[in-house]
Amino acid sequence: MHLNKKGYLYQRKIAMIQKAHLPLQLQIQRINNQAIDEMILDYYDENELEEYTSPKFKKERILYEISKLNRIATARDFERLMERSFVTQNQITRLEQLIASRKISDRITQLEVERINKNLQTIEKTLDQASLNIDKYKSLIDKIPKTVSRQDVLEKALEEKENFRGRKYSYKELSRLSRDLEKYKSSHIDYEQALIENRQADREGLPPVWTKKIWHWSTLKDTRHSQMDEKETSSLSEKFTVINERNGKVDYLRFPHDVENDRNYCSNLCNCACWYEIQ
């Protein structure tokens, strides 16, 4: 079964956003890899680095660098949406957009930094329990691009590969998280912009520009939300009742991919291709 026209356009929009933000994702991947390289070199010999960097400072630097990248990118996305606004743009609406933009980018940053910190913990456990050929590791990171997965590099340099491949460790790539977060960001920006336009319309003595939202199932085979397709409608400010048809888990989401209201460990979010429409 094929996606309907609106669904197809939505998926294409997400693909275009992800493509446009690929340089950003590569920069974040580079930050992740640099942190891992520093940890491994520190672990084997602090003197390998020109200047030793404390773990606390590293975490603060990672947070600062990723926050800066995300704030710039999210603000740019809001600016593009402002060009199609249905209400008058003024200092109030611009301030509201800035606040919403910061909120969205800070949430994305939090999740990406959490992922990087978990990866660092995984690497540290690996180093404690497995033997690494540090010369081979150095040789590999000198030869390959700075954005290549450090999981792959580490596995090639481990003397006892089964220690890393086992279930005990849970290294997770940033790329998949970044793809999911682009969906969250796009949906959230649309949502916040609709709220801003309604508030501005109210200030001008006009009726709301947007009043409801409709959940659309992707129509992809073997997905979780087919029973919700165009049946789940709510007012703009209310949450959707989202039910995973496979396991019965229920979440109350403002829109698909709403990571801020995930209560079931991604049961209704991860790899979800659903979308929503504001009317």
Q: Give the mean model confidence (pLDDT) for residues 59-88.
A: 88
Give the separation between CA 141 and CA 152, rounded to whole angstroms: 11
Give the residue from 65, 97, 77 showing the smallest Cα distance to 18: 77
Residue whose structure tokens are 């940890």 = 39
| pLDDT at residue 268, as a whole number | 92
Instruction: Tell me the average pLDDT of the chain.
Output: 85
What does 173-194 look like in DSSP terms, one character per residue?
-HHHHHHHHHHHHHHHHHHHHH
CA dihedral (195, 197, 203, 208) positive or negative = negative
Lowest mean pLDDT segment, chosen from 24-28, 52-56, 152-156, 248-252: 52-56
pLDDT at residue 232 greater than cutoff 80: no
Query: Which of the two residues, 1 and 41, has the higher pLDDT score?
Result: 41
| pLDDT at residue 53, as a whole number | 57
Give the separation between CA 275 and CA 226, rounded to whole angstroms: 12
Confidence of residue 262 (pLDDT cuts 50, 70, 90): very high
What does 175-244 look like in DSSP terms, one character per residue?
HHHHHHHHHHHHHHHHHHHHHHHHHHHHHTT---S--EEEEE----TT-S-GGGTTT-EEETTSPEEEE-
| pLDDT at residue 122, as a whole number | 87
| pLDDT at residue 105, as a whole number | 96
Give the separation between CA 170 and CA 168, rounded to whole angstroms: 7
